[in-house]
Amino acid sequence: MKTLLGTKIGMTQIIGEDGVATPITLIQAGPVTVTQVKTVETDGYNAVQVAFGEGKNLSKAVAGHTKPADVTPKHIREFRVEEIPADLKIGTKINVEAFGLGDLVSVTGTSKGKGFAGTVKRHNFNTSKSSHGGNGNVRRVGSIGSMYPQKVFKGKRMPGRMGHDRVTVKNLVVAYIDVENNLIGLKGAVPGPKKGLVSIGGKA
């Protein structure tokens, strides 16, 4: 079961034995506790639900649901799996030891929110002429439709909220593991701000 939740610490670099510096993102990962195991027979699909962090003021529903696992989590996430491991049960702890150096993992997080943005910043549009006959609307969108079919198609690239989207980055290499401090370092960048929640998943 190679699945962890964690919070992003930030980026740094490690120096290999060959003297090459490798940029990595450090993540405070786990340990997570299994709070529910779903199977095809009982729920229609196989999945494992895990809890992470220490929460406060839990609702009665959440507190009652997590009581068998003896945790008061801040975050609960569910991950679908093809097969449920035989030794996995409610209360099982999963930490960074589930991964090894060189493993390929996928990381999902929420990207940084940029607020309202125009098309030049949001979609990399070109600006219009600012001299020699320009109309003065340098960063405006311009025409967004035509005479036929007399409507604006859905999905048209327009100004709007930029960022704060669910982003998954695949095939990141595990370059550093600290079991004692529950740290894992992934080669490259990970979506989201510092202290942002991320999920790490790899093939068993």
Coil vs helix vs strand at 124? coil
The 10s digit of each residue's pLDDT in 69-89 is 888 989 999 988 888 888 888
- Go through the domains of the chain in sequence order and give each one's CATH number: 3-114+168-202 (2.40.30.10), 115-163 (no CATH)
Stated pTM of the model = 0.81
Q: Give, in order, the Cα–Cα distances in Å from 169 to each of 22, 123, 131.
A: 18, 20, 42
**CA 204 → CA 69, 76, 104, 139, distances in Å?**
24, 21, 10, 49
Structure tokens at 129: 């002429």
- The share of the chain scoring above pLDDT 90, in percent, equals 54
Point out which residues pair with 101 in neighbouring strands: none
- Res 132: pLDDT: 81
Residue 185 gets which letter from DSSP? Answer: E
Please report the pLDDT score of residue 203 as a whole number. Answer: 65
Percent share of the chain, pLDDT over 70: 98
pLDDT for 204 beyond 60:
no
Handedness of CA 177, 183, 184, 188 (dihedral sign): negative
Q: What is the pLDDT of residues 121-169, one digit of tens each?
A: 999 999 888 888 777 788 988 888 878 888 888 999 999 999 999 999 9
The angle formed by the CA atoms of residues 130, 133 and 137, to the nearest 5 degrees, is 45
Q: What count of residues does the chain have?
A: 204
